[in-house]
Chains A and B, each alone.
Chain A
Amino acid sequence: MVPLVVCAAAAFLGALATIAFYAPVEAVQGVAQKIFYVHVPLAWCTFLAVAALLAGSIGTLWRRRPGADRLARSAAEVGSVLATLVLLTGSLWGKAVWGTWWTWDGRLTSTLVLWFILVGYVLYRSLAEGPPETTARTAAVLGVIAAADVPIIHLSVTWWRTLHPEPVVMRSGDFGGGLPGSMLATLLVSLGAFTLLAAALLVLRVRLAEVEDRLEAAAVERALR
Chain B
Amino acid sequence: MSFLVAAYAVLWIGLFAYLVSLARRLRALSEEARAFAEEEGCAGTPPAGERGRTAGDRSGAAGAPARP
Which residues of A are at the interface with B, using a C-beta cutoff of 8 A?
16, 30-32, 34-35, 38-39, 42, 60, 63-67, 69-70, 81, 84-85, 88-89, 92-93, 95-96, 132-133, 136-137, 197, 201, 204-205, 207-208, 210-222
Contacts and interface: CB of A to CB of B under 8 A. Distances in A.
Query: For the side of the interface on B, what is the size category?
Result: 35 or more
Most chain A beta-carbon neighbours within 10 Å: one of B32, B57, B63? B63
A164 B3 CA distance: 18
A211 B25 CA distance: 10
26 contacts: A32-B1, A32-B3, A60-B65, A64-B65, A66-B54, A66-B57, A66-B63, A67-B57, A69-B56, A70-B56, A81-B15, A81-B18, A85-B14, A95-B3, A132-B64, A136-B64, A201-B19, A201-B22, A208-B22, A208-B26, A212-B63, A213-B54, A215-B29, A218-B33, A218-B45, A218-B55
Contact of B58 (A65, A69, A132, A217): A217
Contacts, number: 139
A32 to B, nearest CB: 5
A195 B62 CA distance: 32
A153 B14 CA distance: 23
A197 B30 contact: no
A220 B46 CA distance: 15
Interface string B5-27: 01110110011001100110110
Judged by DSSP, the binding face of A is helix
B7 A69 contact: no
A69 B46 contact: no
B31 to A, nearest CB: 10
Contacts of A210: 54, 56
